[in-house]
């Protein structure tokens, strides 16, 4: 199954801080953003189960920087969709959603936004909403992925 993850406030801390993965000296020197604690193990386990992991964000971060952030942790992200890519592909469609995972063949999207849950209900795509203060977020993702 193709699964996408949001970045801001989901995998990268924003307004509400959460525990983060440790960084090596190279990541620190390059000023790379820290990933939410549990992300690396989750991505490796989901990949081992045969799931395809991608990033779908409304951020304007470049695909290169997003890919580098994960690559420096030993995680290869095959597909990355940022706001620029989203806007290019959704242009001309009658869909008014900040993200539209079916456009890219994504079966399940993980995000922090309740607004996206509503968009998913309106446009018939599956989302898992996790909160920054959810210490058991990895288990919740595994539990929900198991339902599909």
Q: Domain 2-145, what fold? A: Rossmann fold (3.40.50)
Q: Domain limits of the chain?
A: 2-145
Q: What is the pTM of this model?
A: 0.94
Adjacent-strand bridge partners of 54: 4, 79
Distances (CA, A) of 70 to 87, 115, 143: 23, 26, 24
Residue 125 pLDDT exceeds 90: yes
Q: How confident is the model over 2-41, as pLDDT tens digits? A: 999 999 999 999 888 899 999 999 999 999 999 999 999 9
Quick one: tokens of 116? 């996206």
Residue 68 pLDDT exceeds 90: yes
Q: How confident is the model over 81-115, as pLDDT tens digits? A: 999 999 999 999 999 999 999 999 999 999 999 99
């Amino acid at each position: 199954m193709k699964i996408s993850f949001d970045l801001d406030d989901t995998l990268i801390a924003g307004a509400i801080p959460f525990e983060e993965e440790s960084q090596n000296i190279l990541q620190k020197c390059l000023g790379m953003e820290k990933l939410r604690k549990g992300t690396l193990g989750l991505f490796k386990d989901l990949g081992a189960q045969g799931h395809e992991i991608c990033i779908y964000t409304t951020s304007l971060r470049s695909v290169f920087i997003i890919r580098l952030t994960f690559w420096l942790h030993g995680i290869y992200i095959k597909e990355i969709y940022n706001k620029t890519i989203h806007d290019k592909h959704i242009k001309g469609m009658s869909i008014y959603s900040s993200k539209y995972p079916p456009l890219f063949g994504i079966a399940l999207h993980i995000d922090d936004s309740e607004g996206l849950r509503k968009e998913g209900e309106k446009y018939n795509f599956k989302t898992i909403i996790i909160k920054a203060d959810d210490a058991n977020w990895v288990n919740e993702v595994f539990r929900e992925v198991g339902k599909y």
